[in-house]
Amino acid sequence: MLLRSIYIEWIEMAIDYKDYYALLGLSKTASAEEIKRAYRRLAKVHHPDLHTEKNKAGATAKFKEINEAYEVLSDPKKKAQYDEIGPGWDSARPAGPEPRHREEAPDFGGEGGGFSGFSDFFENLYGRASQGRPNPRAGPRRGQDIEAEMPLSLEDAVAGGEKRLTLSVPALCPTCGGTGHSGQDFCRQCGGVGEIQTQKTITARLPKLVHDGMRIRLRGQGGAARGGGEAGDMFVTLRLQPHPLYKVSGSDLETHVTVMPWVAALGGEAVVASLDGPVRIKIPPGTHAGRMMRISGKGLGREDGKRGDLHAAVRIDIPEKSDARMEALYKQMRETSL
């Protein structure tokens, strides 16, 4: 019934529908983060303070339009009402005399100043619809959840523990306290968003045996809350960094192990560097170069909580220095192989 009454009032007053998505250059499927990015980009372009007196009037009008669009699309309740109406609201407008226009738009107040400067479209939908209800901006609002990535060495991925991460996060604007308004106008410091970007250093306690792409949740480490609400969360995606000794293959690691020719021919032992320290392995007799030696449980963490394997490719080396006895043995081996 409430939306129906709004339809009727619009028809009587010939209020034009405003396409807020088009004003921000977005589709109706745009995410909250995409809406915020589009608004910030356009606010920087059309802010009146950035234009000469000759162009200031046009920039001011455009700036008010994009602020109005963001006011609606950034608020889940307002956005839901707006999406329900749709652009075809006036298809049922009856034919007849030119409808009358409202002479003055009322000021419906709100925290940090009224919505003066907003269009008739906005004030009829959200001003009348909010009579007897609290202003959504006035009550507590949960802070924004934040997505971040944390680079991680392979050693840290196995060991876990505390790691520090510094990144840019949204914080409440100190000028307007997160309302986005300053008196009867939008806050100049945050451009009406209610937030500014600030550097934040957080400490994340990582579990052992994490894997690439693993996502951890840090409660209360996201965007600051408004009006005493709960702070948002931070979701950190762990990204394993390249390593000079190991190639990552899923939860397995690949490296190499160097052996002398006589060890490869007769068998023996060799030492392989692992993330947990040196590991001594057995080399079977007749081992050829390129043979992969599997070391169980020395790889990276798997989703089941266990570890993958370490695979070491055999490289056969020749001593840099040799004496007459060694050269004689090499010649004897060559003659035997002919």
- When the pLDDT of each residue in the chain is averaged and rounded to a whole number, the result is 77
Q: Which of 40-54, 104-118, 142-156, 304-318 has the highest mean pLDDT?
A: 304-318
Query: What pLDDT, on a 0 to 100 scale, did the predictor assign at position 103?
Result: 34
Mean pLDDT over 280-288 rounds to 95
The phi-psi region of residue 228 (left if phi > 0; otherwise alpha if psi is between -120 and 50; otherwise beta) is: left
CA Rg, the chain, in Å? 33
Both structure tokens of 52: 């000469």
Which fold is adopted by the domain 146-240?
HSP40/DNAj peptide-binding domain (2.60.260)
Query: What pLDDT, on a 0 to 100 scale, did the predictor assign at position 99?
Result: 39
Q: What are 268's strand-pairing partners? A: 283
| pLDDT tens readout for residues 90-134 | 443 444 444 333 333 323 233 333 334 567 666 666 654 443 333
pLDDT band at 228 (very low <50, low <70, confident <90, very high): low
Residue with tokens 């510094």: 166
Indicate whether 10 pLDDT > 50. Answer: no
Among 125, 41, 1, 7, smallest CA distance to 75 is for 125
CATH code, 2-127: 1.10.287.110
Mean pLDDT over 298-321 rounds to 89
| CA within 13 Å, CB half, 109 | 8
Q: Matching CATH topology for 146-240 and 247-337?
A: yes
Superfamily of domain 247-337: Urease metallochaperone UreE, N-terminal domain (2.60.260.20)
Least-confidence region, from 16-30, 35-49, 94-108, 269-283: 94-108
pLDDT band at 139 (very low <50, low <70, confident <90, very high): low
| pLDDT tens readout for residues 291-300 | 999 999 999 9
- What ranges make up the beta strands (E) of the chain? 146-152, 161-172, 181-182, 185-186, 195-206, 215-218, 234-240, 247-249, 252-259, 268-274, 277-283, 292-295, 310-316
| pLDDT tens readout for residues 12-23 | 444 567 888 998
Mean pLDDT over 187-210 rounds to 81
Mean pLDDT over 176-186 rounds to 74
| Structural domain spans, the chain | 2-127, 146-240, 247-337
Indicate whether 28 pLDDT > 60. Answer: yes
